[in-house]
Chain A
Amino acid sequence: MRARQRFTIWFESCRLSRRADWLLAWSLRLSALVSGALVVFITVFVIAEAWPALRSIGVWRFLNDASWYPSAGVEDGTFNLVPMLVGTVLTTAGAIVLAAPLGVLSAIFRQVYAPPGVGRVYRWLIELLAGIPSVVYGFWGLVVVVPIITRFEPPGASLLAGILILTLMILPTTTLASDAALQSVPRRTIEGAAALGLGRWATLQGVALPAASSGIATGVLLATGRALGETMAVLMVCGNVVAVPDSLFDPVRTLTANIALEMAYALDGHRSALFVSGLVLLLLVSALVLAAEVVDRRQAVG
């Protein structure tokens, strides 16, 4: 707050004084306008492409049709998006449930318990994990993870495989965010806790983790965003059958995989229906950004 006030005063003092400032201000305004307009443009575009399907097929059928066979046309086709919405939410939720605790625990390990050398190598490994492209994860999942699951419960390509691969993909995000959040808890605070006679675990649990909690939460939201949008890897390991799964071993199709599988081959109504699944995804991500905003505000207040 104080910093912002200072800036305002500084701006006031040199207002109108220099041409360069005027130029700077307007070029900044322009670039802000361009990036803002682009988001609006893309949203409008997706809505416009989805509109014919929404109008001719109707929201009701996207929620209540028997199944998903969109290529037969508006009349004969069926357009139920719910199984894919469920698929997206389940894979993402499963991955977060695994990756969030793992990330926090490994960050605690690195910050508190690991010897410096081990900690450095560990961080380096996690960063390497973050740099592997998603198609490589998908390929590895298809030739290694899926056959292992198949041995126990065919077909192997399943919700479980998707969750495991996604967990691996978002683990670096949750780990590095938690690590950064823990690291930025001031030394004085930790030393203060130690001076009060608190043990290592009590310090962590009572002081360090609460102080870092909003940072961890933001990391988790960021990871959720990545998991929601992930396409290639889940396309390769999830089985892509359009049905609400009964168990972890059933195949699922996510909204992203649906678009990637069918968009290149889709025409007219089918294509428009795919834009509807894109629109649903857009709404999910907007909800996520909104959630991030709420977390951010609560943290600013607290």
Chain B
Amino acid sequence: MIHDGSLQELRVLKSSLIVGSLSLALLVGGMVISGCGVAGADSSATDRQSERLVITGSSTVAPLVAEIGKRFEADAGVRVDVQTGGSSRGIADARNGLADIGMASRALGAAEDDLTGFTIARDGICVIIHRDNPITELSDPQVVDMFTGRLTHWDSLGGEDRRITVVNKAEGRSTLELFLKHFALDNRDVKASVVIGDNEQGIKTVAGNPGAIGYVSIGAAEHAAARGVAIKLLPMSGIAASTATLSEGNFPLARPLTLVIQGEPSTLTQRFIDYARSPAVHDLVRELSFVPAS
């Protein structure tokens, strides 16, 4: 009874804890419901589909498609709705009709011949290290040895006496899949010291650690290095990692940015795909440090 005021205050604190967790839960619930909403609207209203394009998938492709979409909206007077969620989602959504077009940051595989893919641009993955690291080139077996933990210090490669920090990508990312496939690695054998989500986090992590080695999109890495971020792009098999070598088609670790559809496209879908592959959007492709497809 003595400290009635504080009691009151505590009640408020406690209830704000509960309200806080509630609102978080509401947010999650809301996201789920809105996700379902998109699906429902799409499958039911086929005749209204002509006014709206739903495009989902790879977070690498999404910024480009969003920019193209904005320009297309202005030209064609329709709504283009771009949602990210990874290449796997793009392909799954295109397959089961949740999206008009799926986005994938890889070519379609053999098990996906029920779908049609259209390459709109190319992106390359390059190995990056800290700018102050004296190493200038690594062979493929050396990269493999580092990522599997057989090499743990830079001095055995002629670098400084520093521990190697392996920066790997999180499960499910197409960058990870492409990297593992190129080096014939199994993710279980990778001895990572840091696991990252997006390119920007990877670049920041490597720039803050002189012993780090990681891999990110060439476009993102080139852009960051040009801004003065302390990273260095390593050549692969003797070919410099740059958007120039990528556009010449020489860079070995590259991937096509693909639009995916199932069956016969509607007129609007076809128009959008043609537009995304036309020279009218090449400036947008270059702006995002990708390379036009043809």
Which residues of A come within 8 Å of B, CB atoms?
35, 38-39, 41-42, 45, 67, 69-71, 142-143, 146-147, 150, 154-157, 177, 180-181, 184-186, 189, 211-212, 214-215, 218-219, 221-222, 225-226, 229, 235-236, 239-242, 251, 253, 260-262, 264-267, 270, 285, 289, 292, 296, 299
Contacts and interface: CB of A to CB of B under 8 A. Distances in A.
A290 to B, nearest CB: 12
A239 B20 CA distance: 27
25 contacts: A42-B25, A69-B187, A146-B205, A147-B209, A150-B208, A150-B209, A154-B211, A154-B212, A155-B165, A155-B194, A156-B165, A156-B209, A181-B6, A185-B3, A211-B3, A219-B13, A225-B17, A241-B195, A242-B195, A262-B170, A265-B88, A270-B171, A270-B172, A289-B17, A296-B14
A241 B170 contact: no
A150 B201 CA distance: 16
Contacts of B5: 184
Contacts of B10: 181, 214-215, 218, 296, 299
A189 B6 CA distance: 14
Contact of A35 (B11, B22, B187, B204): B22
Interface residues of B, number: 53
The interface residues of chain B, by DSSP majority, are classed as helix
* Smallest CB-CB A-B distances: 4 pairs: A265-B172, A184-B6, A265-B86, A147-B208
A70 to B, nearest CB: 7
A225 B162 CA distance: 39
Contacts of A214: 10
B59 interface: yes
B171 A262 contact: yes
Interface of B: 2-3, 5-7, 9-11, 13-14, 16-18, 20-22, 24-26, 28-29, 32, 59, 84-86, 88-89, 92, 162-163, 165, 170-173, 187-188, 192-197, 201, 204-205, 207-212
A38 B92 CA distance: 30
Contacts of A222: 13-14, 16-17
B195 A239 contact: yes
B3 A186 contact: yes
Contacts of B84: 264
Given A155-B165, A221-B17, A253-B195, A180 B9 contact: yes
Contacts of B9: 180-181, 184, 215
Nearest to A148: B208
Given A215-B10, A264-B86, A42 B28 contact: yes
A285 B25 CA distance: 12
- Of the listed residues B16, B21, B29, B204, the one surrounded by the most CB atoms of chain A closer than 10 A to its CB is B21
Given A142-B208, A154-B209, A212 B6 contact: yes
A99 to B, nearest CB: 15
B3, B89, B173 interface centre (most CB from chain A within 10 Å): B3
A289 B201 CA distance: 34
